[in-house]
């Protein structure tokens, strides 16, 4: 065990950092774009009737294919992975923002209007806060997917924990596989738990314990 860390310790640490970098950057980019597009689409329901099914179909393309296609066009650069992961991180956030806002009780929107709120005030003071738990659920999905797909970065030679798994599989070296797989699993589970916490924090007080709805 100690011998393993002597040889691979540095490499493993670097792989974990690369992995986290991919996840942090892509999820931030995807979250911002997804949130913005989700809000936008909820304002123009006419467009969304055909954009949402398109999003669903696009989402069925496996991440590996998308990374592969971008790789053929953009070449072996970190930006290839970041673009692919950001696009995939965007979808769940976009979907959840959109459905979250649409699911807000009509009565509450009407009440906001009746209080004299403008469109913007109604969106930012009433609809978004109520939709936020949903948005964070999207963020959780996006994060977990991204951790999972960042492993694929190694397939086009761009590091991360996937490097260990790939090398381990091709060299039939179980230690290497485990060295890549366990941290990847731990990162995914830990980030998921962290976001669950966050979700509890952002749930408006009236909605906790299912008071509203």
Partner 1 sequence: MTFKLFSEHLLIVVAAEVLALAVGLPLGVLCYFSPKARKPILWVVDVLQTIPALALLGIIMVLAGAGKQTVIIGIALYSLLPIVQNTNLGLLQVDPGVKEAACGMGMGRMYRLIHVEFPLAFPVVFTGVRIAAVNAVGSAVFAAFVGGGGIGTAIYKAIRIQNMNMLMQGTATLMAIAIALDLSMGWVEARIKRGHSSMKKAPARRN
In the stretch 158-177, what mask flags binding to partner 1 with x, by CB under 8 A? ---xx--x--xx----x--x
Q: What are the distances in angstroms from CA 32 to CA 29, 43, 103, 208?
A: 5, 17, 21, 26
- Whether 92 contacts 141, CB under 8 Å: yes
- Whether 150 contacts 19, CB under 8 Å: yes
The footprint of partner 1 on residues 131-160 (CB under 8 A) is: 144, 147-149, 151-152, 155-156
The footprint of partner 1 on residues 77-116 (CB under 8 A) is: none
SS3 158: coil
Round to whole Å and give the CA distance between 77 and 114.
Answer: 53
| Residue 43 beta carbon to partner 1: minimum distance, rounded to whole angstroms | 29
Q: Out of 25, 55, 74, 192, which residue is the one contacting partner 1 (CB under 8 A)?
A: 192
By CB under 8 A, name the binding residues for partner 1: 57, 60-62, 64-65, 68-69, 71-72, 144, 147-149, 151-152, 155-156, 161-162, 165, 168-169, 174, 177-178, 180-182, 184-185, 188-189, 192
């Amino acid at each position: 065990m100690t011998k393993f860390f002597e040889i691979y310790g540095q490499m493993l640490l670097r792989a974990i950092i690369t992995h986290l970098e991919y996840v942090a950057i892509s999820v931030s980019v995807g979250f911002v774009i997804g949130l913005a597009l989700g809000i936008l689409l909820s304002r123009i329901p006419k467009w969304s009737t055909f954009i949402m099914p398109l999003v669903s179909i696009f989402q069925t393309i496996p991440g590996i294919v998308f990374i592969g296609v971008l790789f053929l066009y953009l070449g072996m650069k970190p930006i290839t992975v970041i673009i692919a992961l950001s696009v995939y991180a965007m979808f769940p956030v976009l979907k959840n923002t959109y459905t979250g806002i649409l699911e807000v009780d009509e009565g509450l929107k009407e009440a906001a209007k009746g209080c004299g709120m403008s469109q913007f005030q109604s969106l930012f003071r009433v609809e978004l806060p109520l939709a936020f738990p949903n948005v964070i659920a999207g963020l959780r999905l996006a994060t977990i997917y991204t951790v999972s797909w960042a492993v694929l970065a190694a397939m086009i030679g761009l590091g991360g924990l996937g490097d260990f798994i790939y090398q381990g599989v091709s060299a039939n070296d179980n230690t290497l596989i485990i060295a890549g797989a366990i941290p990847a699993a731990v990162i995914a589970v830990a980030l998921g738990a962290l976001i669950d916490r966050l979700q509890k924090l952002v749930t408006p007080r009236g909605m906790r314990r299912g008071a509203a709805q």
